[in-house]
Amino acid sequence: PWEQLPDYKCYRKRCSTSSDCCRRYNVCDPQVKVCYDCWYGYSCESSRDCCQRYPYCHPRKKICYN
């Protein structure tokens, strides 16, 4: 159901994982368990940590990019 909502509807929503957040334009903060916007340069270990807007994790820099 969250896939149908506009991106801003999930901002600050409680979450367990990033898949709980809208269209993966938001990511779930693992410490405070809320959705927030992701951005270019968001740190990652793998592409699973990134959002739809910046879906790839750079293998050396460990940042999300598109």
d(CA 62, CA 20): 23
pTM of the predicted protein model? 0.67
What residue numbers bound the domain in which 52 lies? 2-65
d(CA 20, CA 41): 21
Average pLDDT, integer, range 20-25: 77
Q: What are the tens digits of pLDDT across the range 4-15?
A: 555 667 778 899
Q: What are the tens digits of pLDDT across the range 23-35?
A: 667 888 889 999 8
Tally of domains in the chain? 1
Residue 32: how many other CB atoms lie within 10 Å = 10
Using pLDDT thresholds of 50, 70 and 90, give the confidence band for residue 66.
very high
